[in-house]
């Protein structure tokens, strides 16, 4: 590529100049200054069995922020810096997050401009294909503004998002997404069918070790039928509630917000095809609550970190309509960074985790008041027993954790 070549190891953000004309935000894309002398070798197609699927609508600024963190923290960055030739790149093996699939609801031109800027960044600099697929949105829907009054929640945005989710997941798992977009900066061989998919949205920022976490847990997720997904998010991950950056847990509550789903969950296991999520995807909208329903979750659990690896920064014209904005903005995003592939995660086996968990609960100091709990927690684990959901809500409010329940399960609950 032409232009000024930058030193190896320097990551350059795509240049997107913004000019306002009235209330309309226009974006003009300049070509990237390549940080490598020449193009980075393309990944071998056998490495592309774990795509990352990013959902976007029309918040271009949010989307660009999310894409920058995806680009900056992508595992291919270190391989480009460490490997000097094509053969070394082919010897790396699986890379979680390759290829990139952007599913755009509608055809907002500003969002499309961001996609094209990052297509160049991923394909030229990192050798990773980026595919754009477009979910059709009727013209009247393109113009509508989402409700932001949490006292009068409009279900339509949730229903639109659920339809978009179901459509894009099927395009991805079926491999159709690779045929819908052929506009690439270089020759792209068609990747194999995905074995698992990492799912992000336009207003989610990922931590530096997000993909390492997904890579280290991928084989566990593939082989453990008692698991539904791996998530990078802790609903109660506020600074005052978390401490151990290396701790993962099993939970019966599905948090979403940056997660990975295996093919067996979408298509259904061969022995239980009726469990496929794709069979009757979120018929009434609210796709995440639908997954949490007992007849859909089927007792399957989720792996998640104690300290979140994703941060939900969106609060303008989003489908959650600010109903949990206060809590979302206080979640701590991990800044430590863990090489998850080097961690022993055998403790996450269902029997081992249950034994360790209940031993810890049993050994915790039993207290009867909130004051005692807040006093003793500085020195040891404490156990405070609640006897109803209304009692739990009172305790949750006083301890500043999420008080709501979904399908009878409190957030971050285990064996509840």
Residues designated catalytic: 288
CA–CA separation, 300 and 359 (whole Å): 22
Hey, CA dihedral for 365, 370, 375, 377, is it positive or negative? positive
If phi > 0 it is left, if psi is from -120 to 50 it is alpha, else beta; for residue 288 that is alpha
Q: Which tokens hold the place of 259?
A: 């997660």
Q: Would you call 174 exposed, middle or buried from its count of C-beta atoms within 10 A (0-12, 13-18, 19+)?
A: middle
Are 297 and 413 a contacting pair, CB within 8 Å?
no
Buried b (16+ CB within 10 A) or exposed e, 193-216: ebbbbbbbbbbbbbbbbbbbbbbb
CA–CA separation, 353 and 357 (whole Å): 6
CA–CA separation, 71 and 28 (whole Å): 20
């Amino acid at each position: 590529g032409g232009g000024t070549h930058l030193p190896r190891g320097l990551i350059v953000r795509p240049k997107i100049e913004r000019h306002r004309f009235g209330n309309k935000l226009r974006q003009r894309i300049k070509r990237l200054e390549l940080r490598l002398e020449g193009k980075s070798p393309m990944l071998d197609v056998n490495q592309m069995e774990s795509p990352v699927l990013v959902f976007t609508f029309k918040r271009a600024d949010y989307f660009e922020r999310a894409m920058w963190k995806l680009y900056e923290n992508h595992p291919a960055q270190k391989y480009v810096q460490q490997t000097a030739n094509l053969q070394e790149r082919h010897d790396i093996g699986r890379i979680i997050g390759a290829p990139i699939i952007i599913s755009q609801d509608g055809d907002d031109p500003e969002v499309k401009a961001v996609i094209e800027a990052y297509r160049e960044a991923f394909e030229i600099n990192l050798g990773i294909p980026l595919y754009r697929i477009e979910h059709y949105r009727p013209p009247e829907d393109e113009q509508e503004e989402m409700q932001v009054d949490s006292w009068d929640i409009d279900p339509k945005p949730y229903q639109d998002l659920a339809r978009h989710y179901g459509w894009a997941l099927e395009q991805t798992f079926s491999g159709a997404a690779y045929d819908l977009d052929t506009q690439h900066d270089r020759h792209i061989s068609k990747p194999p069918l995905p074995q698992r998919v990492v799912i992000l949205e336009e207003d989610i920022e990922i931590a530096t070790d997000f993909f390492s976490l997904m890579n280290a847990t991928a084989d566990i997720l593939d082989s453990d039928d008692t698991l539904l997904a791996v998530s990078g998010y802790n609903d109660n991950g506020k600074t005052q509630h978390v401490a151990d950056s290396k701790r993962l847990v099993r939970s019966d509550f599905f948090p979403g917000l940056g997660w990975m789903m295996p093919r067996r969950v979408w298509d259904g296991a061969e022995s239980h095809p009726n469990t496929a999520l794709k069979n009757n995807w979120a018929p009434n909208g609210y796709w995440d609550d639908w997954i949490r329903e007992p007849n859909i979750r089927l007792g399957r659990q989720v792996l998640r970190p104690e300290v979140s690896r994703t941060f939900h920064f969106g609060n303008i014209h989003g489908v959650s309509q600010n109903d949990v904005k206060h809590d979302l903005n206080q979640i701590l995003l991990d800044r430590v960074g863990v090489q998850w592939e080097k961690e022993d995660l055998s403790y996450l086996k269902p029997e081992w985790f249950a034994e360790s968990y209940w031993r810890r609960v049993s050994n915790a100091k039993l207290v009867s008041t909130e004051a005692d709990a807040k006093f003793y927690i500085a020195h040891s684990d404490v156990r405070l027993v609640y006897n109803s959901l209304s009692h739990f809500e009172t305790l949750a409010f006083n301890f500043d954790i999420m008080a709501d329940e979904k399908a009878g399960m409190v957030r971050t609950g285990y064996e509840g």
